[in-house]
């Protein structure tokens, strides 16, 4: 898989936002990594040291009323993003052509409110 995104930088982008998400009442799971060189089926690891050649990084965020957001970013420049707002809206969010970790951060800042609302901001 082509290396478009630096997944270490993407993990740092997630980490930068965790305190804000938690302060807004969300629960943030551990970042997960998948190793491209691992035998199939590849496991998701929470310990980065166990992953020799990462091809994805992901996080699961949960909120009130069963709301949730699952994001898995692939180094090729796309993400698998699924959400449920806890009421009646949910599904996959198309996420292609992500060209950098910074662009991923911009997308995260749009995906989180889609799943959880404005997080108390007016």
Domain span at residue 67 reads: 7-116
pLDDT band, very low/low/confident/very high, at 2 (cuts 50, 70, 90)? confident
18 located within any domain: yes
Residue 2 located in a structural domain: no
Report CA 36 to chain centroid distance, whole Å. Answer: 18
Give the pLDDT band of residue 121 (cuts 50, 70, 90): low
Identify whether 121 is part of a domain.
no
Whether 51 is in a domain gets the answer: yes
Count the domains in the chain: 1
Cα(66)–Cα(45) distance, integer angstroms: 24
Task: Assess if residue 33 is contained within a domain.
Answer: yes
Residue 122 resides in a domain: no
pLDDT above 70 covers what percent of the chain? 97
> Lowest mean pLDDT: which of 2-6, 13-17, 49-53, 89-93?
2-6
Span 78-113, pLDDT tens digits:
999 999 988 888 999 999 999 999 999 999 999 999
Alpha carbon distance 114, 67 (integer Å): 10
Asked if the structure places residue 42 within a domain, the reply is yes
């Amino acid at each position: 898989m082509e290396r478009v995104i630096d997944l270490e930088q993407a993990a740092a982008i997630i980490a930068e936002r965790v305190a804000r998400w938690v302060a807004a009442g969300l629960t943030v799971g551990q970042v997960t990594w998948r190793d491209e060189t691992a035998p199939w089926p590849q496991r998701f690891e929470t310990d980065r040291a166990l992953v020799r050649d990462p091809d994805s990084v992901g996080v699961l965020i949960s909120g009130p009323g069963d709301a949730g957001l699952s994001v898995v970013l692939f180094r090729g420049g796309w993400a698998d993003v699924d959400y449920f707002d806890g009421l009646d809206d949910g599904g996959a969010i198309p996420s292609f052509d992500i060209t950098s970790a910074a662009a991923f951060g911009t997308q995260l800042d749009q995906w989180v409110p889609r799943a959880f609302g404005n997080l108390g901001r007016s």
